[in-house]
Amino acid sequence: MIVYCYRSGHIGFAKYKRQVPDGGVIPLASGSIKHCIKAVAQTARLSRVDNKTFFVPGIPEAGCDNEKALEATGEYAVTLRDRLASLRNGPDLGPRYGVVAA
């Protein structure tokens, strides 16, 4: 699955690369359907209008400032990819929980 966003910050999902809309969208991350949906639900902003649509945090506040919107998109892409990595690999429990690297 591919996660992408529009300039408005609206987040979209495409099962296949060919389903990503042409022009005007930025790919954010890719992964399994289950992990992508869960990662977006945990990190994105939920619309107050329909309570179903996800938005990239910071883009709606950027308004017409394209530089701020692009910065918010980049920051969110890193956050989303980090969350996807943790979902794929499981939580990093570390020594506090008695897990020691082999």
| Residue 53, pLDDT score | 95
Q: What is the pTM of this model?
A: 0.82
Give 73-87 pLDDT, tens digit per residue.
Answer: 999 999 999 999 999
Give 25-63 pLDDT, tens digit per residue.
Answer: 999 999 999 999 999 999 999 999 999 999 999 998 898
| Residue 92, pLDDT score | 56
- For the chain, the domains span 2-97
Query: What are 45's strand-pairing partners?
Result: 55
Q: How many other C-beta atoms can be found within 10 angstroms of the C-beta atom of residue 73?
A: 20
